[in-house]
């Protein structure tokens, strides 16, 4: 337990996965389970029974659980599924002699939740064991995890939406939203608001011509919007592993608010990087610090910037988080005085002892600077991290206090990659983050150098191939330990028949961009081909080649009556976009609005087609990470991923899948489901059943 009741976890995945309320409840449950053990410690093999008996899952019939609302059947994990859960959880920090630590407990709990989502949507109650107060507490923790929302956060995000989307032609009649009501969650049920919000965060992500925006949308059209929203959210870096289209259609508050929080965070942190704000170089003194800065998340960079400004103001303390460290408003008062001394007024915040009054004076200072509040005085005193982060990010946007003249230092030379390298890095980074691994990466070339993330990725796409006993878990200080991880990565790659000529583990540790990108492409391609191969009911489990994908695409277009053709994945004629529009129309005739399609001869027409193709593919259910430029320039790798993703979506659909055009609902006369919670499929899977 940290300061002022703050539960501190070192793993970034766990920081994102659980709120402070969840962590406090789960920590109490962890302590109860540990104390109840005869040995005073939890063993890994004890967790399935402990969690199952507490949650009423995986051990139905053993606990005398109370009957749940709606008499929903109990979700269960079998022994095999529990074995898979324990195998999937990284536990290099596990020390059997000391028992299961809290963070390992959290990882097992989180993995269990992911598996349960495949068995049962988390909407009903969870059976409580009347024989165990600890089990009841875990039930409370689960309820908190799944259903608690912060009214302060809701009000803040509603204010953001009202301010930024007030003039949107489609939404302006529905705005402003009243934060005191649940209107926000009703308004998101058609998917339009969320799509608009994504475009606000990263302009151009969604071609708005692909959004269904007529006044009354049928179920099919709403589902298309939700699918487009979730695939586009992944494409800008959101984590949507636990969210499906049905969750959005039902307006589930905790999930919708979590998604909106991520989207707004991406918008506010868009400039907190060296590429967008090169003046951040002021924060470093040498090349070693520069490397460290480049590997930091935007949140960590924002903290470093804040401390840089606080040092200017003479504040002796260091801010390490957006919660307990700023509850007393001292750091805020100093920061605003450094950035905008002309906006200060009397009484000064630090002359006031009452923390609420002091926080109010800080926000009044920010108002005079023209900053949006994002939070109330009480939110500051309560230390709400998401809202404090939003507030500081907005201050950075308005006035960062950095020199407009970037200092000339030698280690800045070659800092920024060329456009093509940057695009490839972006695509691979977003693909990796979409897999649902435990580590969230911010920079491919920096974050992969210790080999650990690559091992996580390989474990997702080729389960069982990683020897975790031989892996070194971060933080890794000794360089040769990093090389050991990277050597195992390459050894596995050779076993998967990757082309690994002239590449050694040390090349990855040294951050060789060309070799890292080449290896990542082979990982992505392997993932694509394995997913297609695993569709045994279509392909009989045979090996799939690039040429098979090419032949399939040409046949689909020809069979639909169209005349376009692709000679190879680097066919220059693909830049017009016509072939991909024909392919999308062939796999789902109603998805392309042909009135928007031109001959694709002029550059402007090609640009419009490329943008539209990506959004239409995502609207179908394809999770893709390319940019319009990749189609315009016919980048072979990205063109292959686009084609393969369309093929995967089409082949995974049940053969009897049809559309009732009268009411817009999708019908299936087969029991085969199109949803799959396997993280290794998340890069190409659709986000919910159709």
pLDDT tens track for 119-164? 543 333 333 332 233 233 233 333 333 446 789 999 999 999 999 9
Residue 533 pLDDT: 84
**Per CATH, domain 546-652 is 1.10.418.10:** yes
Contacts 24+ apart (CB under 8 A), 534-542: 535/648, 535/651, 535/652, 537/672, 538/651, 539/651
Largest interatomic CA distance in the chain:
78
DSSP letter assigned to residue 113? H
Evaluate the omega torsion of the peptide bond into residue 42 and state whether it is cis, within 30 degrees of 0. Answer: no
Q: What string of DSSP letters covers 195-208?
A: HHHHHHHSTTSS-G
Kindly give, in sequence order, each residue whose CB lies less than 8 Å from that of residue 372, ignoring residues fewer than 6 positions away.
159, 160, 163, 394
H helices present in 534-602, as ranges: 536-539, 546-559, 578-587
Residue 340 pLDDT: 93
Residue 214 pLDDT: 87
Helix (H, G, I), strand (E, B) or coil at 665: strand
Assign 3-class secondary structure to 270-306: CCCCCCCCHHHHHHCCCHHHHHHHHHCCHHHHHHHHH
Question: What CATH number labels 151-269?
Answer: 1.10.418.10
Q: Please check whether residue 232 is in contact with residue 9, taking contact to mean a CB–CB distance below 8 angstroms.
A: no
d(CA 264, CA 164): 11
CATH superfamily, with its number, for domain 278-402:
Calponin-like domain (1.10.418.10)
pTM score: 0.75
Residue 650 pLDDT: 92
Q: Please check whether residue 58 is in contact with residue 52, taking contact to mean a CB–CB distance below 8 angstroms.
A: yes
Beta bridge partners of 659: 666
Domain boundaries, the chain: 12-53+77-118, 151-269, 278-402, 418-535, 546-652
d(CA 306, CA 291): 19
d(CA 363, CA 366): 5
Averaged over successive runs of 10 residues, the pLDDT of the chain (690 residues) comes to 54 68 76 72 77 45 32 54 74 57 82 66 34 30 48 93 93 92 93 96 95 90 95 92 86 90 94 88 81 85 95 92 93 94 89 93 93 88 92 93 66 58 90 88 91 94 92 90 96 94 93 94 93 68 84 95 95 96 94 92 94 96 93 95 94 56 37 32 40
Q: What is the pLDDT of residues 503-557, one digit of tens each?
A: 999 999 999 999 999 999 999 999 999 888 877 545 555 678 899 999 999 999 9
What kind and span of H or E run contains 52?
helix 47-55
Question: What CATH number labels 418-535?
Answer: 1.10.418.10
Q: C-alpha angle 577/583/586, rounded to 5°?
A: 140
């Amino acid at each position: 337990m940290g300061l002022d009741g703050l539960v501190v976890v070192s793993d970034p995945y766990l920081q994102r996965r659980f709120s402070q309320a969840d962590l406090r409840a789960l920590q109490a449950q962890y302590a109860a389970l540990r104390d109840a053990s005869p040995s005073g410690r939890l063993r890994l093999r004890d967790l399935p029974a402990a969690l199952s008996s507490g949650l009423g899952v995986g051990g139905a019939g053993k606990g005398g659980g109370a009957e749940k609302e709606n008499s929903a059947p109990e979700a269960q994990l079998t022994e095999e599924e529990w074995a898979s859960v324990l195998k999937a959880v990284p536990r290099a920090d596990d020390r059997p002699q000391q028992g299961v630590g809290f963070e390992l407990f959290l990882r097992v709990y989180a993995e269990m939740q992911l598996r349960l989502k495949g068995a049962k949507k988390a909407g009903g109650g969870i059976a409580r064991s009347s024989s165990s107060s600890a089990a009841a507490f875990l039930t409370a923790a689960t309820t908190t995890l799944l259903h608690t929302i912060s009214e302060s956060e809701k009000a803040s995000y509603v204010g953001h939406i009202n301010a930024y989307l007030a003039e949107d032609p489609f939404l302006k009649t529905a705005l402003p939203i009243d934060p005191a009501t649940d209107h926000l969650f009703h308004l998101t049920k058609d998917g339009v608001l969320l799509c608009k919000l994504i475009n606000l965060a990263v302009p151009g992500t969604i071609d708005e011509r692909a959004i269904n925006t007529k006044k009354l949308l049928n179920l099919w059209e709403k589902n298309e919007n939700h699918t487009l929203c979730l695939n586009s959210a992944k494409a800008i870096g959101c984590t949507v592993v636990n969210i499906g289209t049905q969750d959005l259609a039902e307006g589930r508050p905790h999930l919708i608010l979590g998604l909106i929080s991520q989207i707004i965070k991406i918008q506010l942190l868009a400039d907190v990087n060296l590429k967008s704000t090169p003046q951040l170089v002021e924060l470093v003194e040498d090349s070693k610090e520069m490397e460290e800065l480049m590997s930091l998340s935007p949140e960590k960079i924002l903290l470093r910037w804040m401390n840089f400004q606080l040092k200017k103001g003479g504040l002796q303390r260091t801010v390490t988080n957006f919660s307990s460290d700023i509850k007393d408003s001292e750091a805020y008062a100093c920061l605003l005085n450094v950035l905008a001394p002309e906006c200060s007024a009397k009484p000064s915040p630090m002359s006031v002892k009452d923390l609420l009054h002091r926080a109010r004076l800080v926000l009044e200072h920010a108002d005079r600077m023209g900053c949006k509040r994002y939070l109330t005085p009480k939110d500051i005193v309560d230390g709400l991290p998401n809202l404090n982060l939003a507030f500081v990010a907005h201050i950075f946007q308005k006035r960062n206090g950095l020199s407009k003249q970037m200092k000339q230092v030698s280690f800045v030379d070659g800092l920024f990659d060329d456009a093509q390298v940057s695009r490839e890095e972006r695509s691979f980074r977003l693909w990796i983050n979409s897999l649902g691994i435990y580590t969230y990466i911010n920079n491919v070339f920096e974050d992969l150098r210790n080999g650990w993330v690559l091992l996580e990725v390989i474990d997702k796409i080729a389960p069982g191939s990683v020897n975790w006993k031989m892996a070194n878990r971060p933080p890794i200080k000794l360089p040769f330990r990093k090389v050991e991880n990277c050597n195992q990565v390459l050894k596995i790659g050779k076993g998967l028949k990757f082309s690994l000529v002239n590449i050694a583990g040390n090349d990855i540790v040294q951050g060789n961009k060309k070799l890292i990108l080449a290896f990542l492409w082979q990982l992505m391609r392997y993932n694509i081909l394995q997913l297609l191969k695993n569709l045994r009911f279509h392909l009989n489990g045979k090996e799939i080649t690039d040429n098979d994908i090419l032949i399939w695409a040409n046949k689909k277009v020809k069979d639909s009556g169209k005349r376009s053709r692709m000679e190879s994945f680097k066919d220059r004629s693909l830049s017009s976009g016509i072939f991909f529009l024909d392919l999308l129309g062939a796999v789902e005739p109603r998805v392309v609005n042909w009135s928007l399609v031109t001959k694709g001869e002029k550059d402007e027409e090609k640009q419009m087609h490329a943008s539209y193709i990506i959004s239409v593919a995502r609207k179908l259910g394809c999770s893709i990470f390319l940019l319009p430029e990749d189609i315009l320039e016919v980048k072979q790798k990205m063109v292959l991923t686009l084609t393969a993703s369309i093929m995967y979506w089409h082949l995974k659909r049940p053969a009897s899948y049809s559309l009732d055009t009268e009411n817009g609902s999708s019908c299936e006369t087969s029991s085969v489901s199109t949803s799959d919670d396997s993280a290794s499929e998340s890069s190409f899977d659709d986000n919910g059943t159709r």
